[in-house]
């Protein structure tokens, strides 16, 4: 409004969890941004309540995980019941090498509040509240946003715009982008109640309870003695009817009676929602990049919304930072779209199955679902059909950024090209991901033997010394830490856990992208191969990143 016309490098529309995380991720690479938020505060009401382990690992990379861990409630199992009998127990994958349990229950407003605290303290992040984006115009070199504020309108020009403005994205509508996929007719009430209930932190699911025949109920514990009760409405019931206080109270009492906790409670929040499996077919449109709910709308079964968005922003931020810093060309951004659209489509497929099980959209699917439920009372083989397919880290195995596929195939196990790194417990409270920390850039894992660095590995260290962009070299050694000034951190792994989990032997090299997905690995590598793989991963190799 003061008439400054200089283009900002990045404007992020929307300071929800994904806009905030993108801002912090860009800042790690030294990229400043303006964060535009139409509201005057973080979100209110009950929305996402579960962070997955992968999300916590991403948040650890941003250096913001501590308050979340302190506040949240970790959990690792869920149980499903039918006609009062437990028919399925899901133990979510957990390994003694993991730092975090598979799930952490924490309300979205805390996630946003904590992220916001870090953003507000960061000199590269300019947060502007009460600024509603109402217009967008793209030129060859910049995008101009029209912004409505309580003090009037102004225009802001940015080289790149990240649209993180949520499920009702204004940017998506202004650009007339249409989503593919489907919406489901079943509607659910979310009611958060405050109550002292003495049950462990786990996810409970009840099919066909006597008080809500044919439908299902989910119960989840949250911090602050809050409990999320989530149930499907009987067909034909309207949102107003479902939220009518006397009816809602009767139903909540019925749930409490079902879990044998007839305690005093107060309603904290209630709303009605429905499930969608919708995604854009492209997340990159010129200089406008869509992310989070602005790019896809996913069912909440399997905690997909916020956790998918965090994987989007972690994938997008490094690529955008590389382009802005002149370390890569804009076509690198096409790989963001390729990788994350594929992830969104996989989630729509998986989430669609969960949704059809929760809210059968036709008499046929209902018949099948009910058959599975009733047989599960006596037959074990059907239980896997009740797996609710929780949000998972995505595997970019087909990414154009991966290199040396043949060398990848020489491994029998370990972390394949496209997969995210696996954490390793090295000592009591010391993990591989702590050594990586929040360092921004590529990572090279070099495995050595008792004799220390070989000539090949020394040459690789020398060849990656003075690159334009940051690359962190991490030496894994079975001995007490080597005294080698060439490496960044040196990981002493006397028990060999890293070697076995990574199917590594002395001489093995892993090249890892800034979002911690492996993009090349070799049993034995030479410096030329590593440099070639880095060219591929930054979009410079021929044939790479062409959409
Ligand atoms: C009732 C409900 C329950 C949910 N439960 C779960 C759950 O259990 N698990 C789960 O993983 N997910 C859940 N979700 C989904 C989860 O909340 C979203 O996936 C998550 O909020 C997406 O984050 P985002 O930053 O992409 O979008 P949002 O959180 O929607 O943030 C978008 C931001 O953009 C701002 N904005 C919008 N338009 C403009 C504009 N024109 N100009 C400037 N600012 C703008 C908004 O004010 C908002 O702050 C739930 C959602 C709802 C609604």
Record the pTM: 0.95
Q: Which of 15, 300, 309 to mutate to test the pocket of ligand 1 (most atoms within 8 A of CB)?
A: 300
Percentage above 70 pLDDT, the chain: 96
Which of the four pLDDT bands, split at 50, 70 and 90, describes residue 484? low
* 291: helix, strand or coil: coil
Instruction: Point out the ligand 1 atom lying closest to the alpha carbon of residue 305.
Output: 19
In this prediction, residues 198-214 reach a mean pLDDT of 90
Percentage above 90 pLDDT, the chain: 76
Question: pLDDT tens for residues 46-89?
Answer: 899 999 999 999 999 999 999 999 999 999 999 999 988 998 88
CB 108 within 8 A of CB 116: no
> Is the minimum distance from the CB of 351 to ligand 1 under 6 angstroms?
no
pLDDT of residue 181: 95
Average pLDDT along the chain: 92
> Is the minimum distance from the CB of 230 to ligand 1 under 6 angstroms?
no
Distance 279 CA to ligand 1 centre (A): 15
d(C-alpha 476, C-alpha 426), whole Å = 11
d(C-alpha 160, C-alpha 291), whole Å = 13
Question: pLDDT tens for residues 7-38?
Answer: 899 999 999 999 999 999 999 999 999 999 99
pLDDT of residue 488: 66
What burial class does residue 378 get, using C-beta atoms within 10 Å of its C-beta: 0-12 exposed, 13-18 middle, 19+ buried? Answer: exposed
> Is the minimum distance from the CB of 273 to ligand 1 under 6 angstroms?
yes
> Is the minimum distance from the CB of 475 to ligand 1 under 6 angstroms?
no
Question: pLDDT tens for residues 520-538?
Answer: 999 999 999 999 999 999 9
In this prediction, residues 505-526 reach a mean pLDDT of 97
- Tell whether the model's pLDDT for residue 485 goes beyond 80: no
Ligand 1: which residue has its CA nearest to atom 8? 48
d(C-alpha 241, C-alpha 239), whole Å = 5
- Tell whether the model's pLDDT for residue 545 goes beyond 50: no
Ligand 1: which residue has its CA nearest to atom 53? 47
Question: pLDDT tens for residues 227-236?
Answer: 999 998 988 8
Q: Which of 166, 220, 273, 292 to mutate to test the pocket of ligand 1 (most atoms within 8 A of CB)?
A: 166
Ligand 1: which residue has its CA nearest to atom 14? 48
Question: Which of 162, 200, 130 lies closest to 286, judged by CA?
Answer: 162
Residue 39, both tokens: 């509201």
Which of the four pLDDT bands, split at 50, 70 and 90, describes residue 381? confident
d(C-alpha 34, C-alpha 257), whole Å = 50
Distance 108 CA to ligand 1 centre (A): 9
> Is the minimum distance from the CB of 203 to ligand 1 under 6 angstroms?
no
Distance 82 CA to ligand 1 centre (A): 32
Radius of gyration of the chain from its Cα atoms, rounded to whole angstroms: 25
> Is the minimum distance from the CB of 306 to ligand 1 under 6 angstroms?
yes
Instruction: Point out the ligand 1 atom lying closest to the alpha carbon of residue 42.
Output: 49
- The number of C-alpha atoms within 13 Å of 25 and in the hemisphere containing its C-beta is 27
In this prediction, residues 167-175 reach a mean pLDDT of 98
Instruction: Point out the ligand 1 atom lying closest to the alpha carbon of residue 108.
Output: 17
Instruction: Point out the ligand 1 atom lying closest to the alpha carbon of residue 291.
Output: 26
- Tell whether the model's pLDDT for residue 384 goes beyond 80: no
CB 486 within 8 A of CB 461: yes
pLDDT of residue 547: 34
Least confident of 337-341, 371-375, 412-416: 371-375
pLDDT of residue 185: 83
- Tell whether the model's pLDDT for residue 147 goes beyond 50: yes
pLDDT of residue 491: 81
> Is the minimum distance from the CB of 302 to ligand 1 under 6 angstroms?
no
Which of the four pLDDT bands, split at 50, 70 and 90, describes residue 215? confident
pLDDT of residue 537: 97
> Is the minimum distance from the CB of 420 to ligand 1 under 6 angstroms?
no
- Tell whether the model's pLDDT for residue 111 goes beyond 80: yes
Which of the four pLDDT bands, split at 50, 70 and 90, describes residue 103? very high
Question: pLDDT tens for residues 434-447?
Answer: 999 999 999 999 99
What are phi and psi for residue 66, nearest 5 degrees? -60, -55
Q: Which of 293, 299, 355, 358 to mutate to test the pocket of ligand 1 (most atoms within 8 A of CB)?
A: 293
């Amino acid at each position: 409004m003061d008439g400054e016309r200089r283009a900002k490098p990045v404007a992020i529309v929307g300071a929800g969890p994904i806009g905030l995380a993108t801002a912090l991720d860009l800042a790690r690479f030294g990229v400043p941004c303006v964060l535009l938020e139409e509201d005057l505060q973080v979100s209110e009401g009950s929305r996402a309540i579960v962070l997955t382990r992968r999300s916590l690992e991403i948040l650890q990379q941003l250096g913001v995980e501590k308050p979340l861990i302190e506040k949240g409630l970790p959990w690792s199992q869920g149980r499903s019941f039918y006609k009062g009998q437990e028919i399925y127990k899901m133990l979510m994958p957990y390994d003694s090498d993991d730092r975090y349990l598979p799930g952490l229950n924490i309300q979205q407003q805390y996630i946003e509040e904590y992220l916001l605290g870090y953003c507000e303290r960061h000199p590269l992040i300019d947060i502007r509240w009460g600024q509603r984006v109402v217009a967008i115009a793209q030129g060859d070199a910049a995008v101009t946003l029209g912004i409505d504020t309580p003090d009037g309108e102004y225009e802001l020009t940015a080289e790149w715009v990240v649209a993180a403005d949520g499920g009702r994205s204004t940017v998506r509508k202004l650009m007339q982008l249409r989503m593919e996929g489907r919406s489901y007719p079943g509607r659910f009430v979310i009611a958060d109640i405050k109550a002292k209930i003495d049950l462990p932190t786990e996810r409970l699911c009840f099919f066909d309870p006597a008080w809500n025949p044919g439908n299902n109920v989910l119960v989840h514990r949250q911090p602050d003695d809050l409990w999320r009760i989530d149930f499907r409405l009987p067909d034909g019931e309207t949102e107003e009817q479902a939220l009518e206080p006397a009816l809602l109270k009767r139903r909540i009492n019925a749930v409490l009676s079902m879990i044998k906790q007839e305690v005093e409670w107060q309603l904290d929040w209630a709303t009605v929602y429905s499930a969608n499996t919708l995604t854009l077919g492209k997340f990159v449109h010129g200089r406008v990049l869509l992310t989070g709910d602005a790019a896809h709308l996913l069912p909440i079964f399997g905690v997909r919304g916020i956790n998918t968005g965090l994987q989007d922003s972690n994938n997008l931020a490094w690529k955008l930072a590389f382009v802005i810093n002149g370390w890569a060309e804009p076509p690198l951004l096409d790989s963001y779209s390729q990788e994350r659209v594929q992830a969104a489509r996989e989630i729509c497929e998986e989430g669609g199955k969960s949704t059809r099980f929760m809210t059968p959209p036709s008499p046929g699917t209902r018949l099948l679902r009910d058959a599975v439920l009733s047989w599960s009372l006596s037959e074990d083989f059907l239980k896997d059909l009740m797996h609710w397919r929780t949000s998972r880290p995505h595997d970019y195995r087909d990414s154009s950024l991966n290199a040396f596929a043949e060398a990848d195939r020489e491994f029998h196990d370990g972390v394949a090209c496209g997969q995210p790194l696996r954490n390793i417990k090295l000592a009591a409270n010391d993990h591989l991901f702590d050594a990586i920390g929040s360092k921004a850039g590529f990572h090279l894992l070099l495995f050595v033997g008792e004799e220390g660095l070989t000539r090949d590995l020394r040459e690789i260290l020398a060849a990656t010394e003075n690159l334009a962009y940051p690359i962190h070299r991490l030496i894994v050694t079975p001995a007490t830490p080597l005294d080698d000034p060439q490496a960044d951190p040196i990981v002493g792994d006397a028990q060999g856990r890293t070697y076995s989990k990574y199917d590594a032997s002395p001489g093995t090299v892993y090249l890892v992208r800034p979002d911690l997905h492996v993009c090349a690995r070799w049993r034995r590598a030479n410096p030329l191969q590593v440099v070639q793989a880095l060219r591929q991963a930054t979009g410079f190799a021929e044939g790479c990143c062409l959409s």
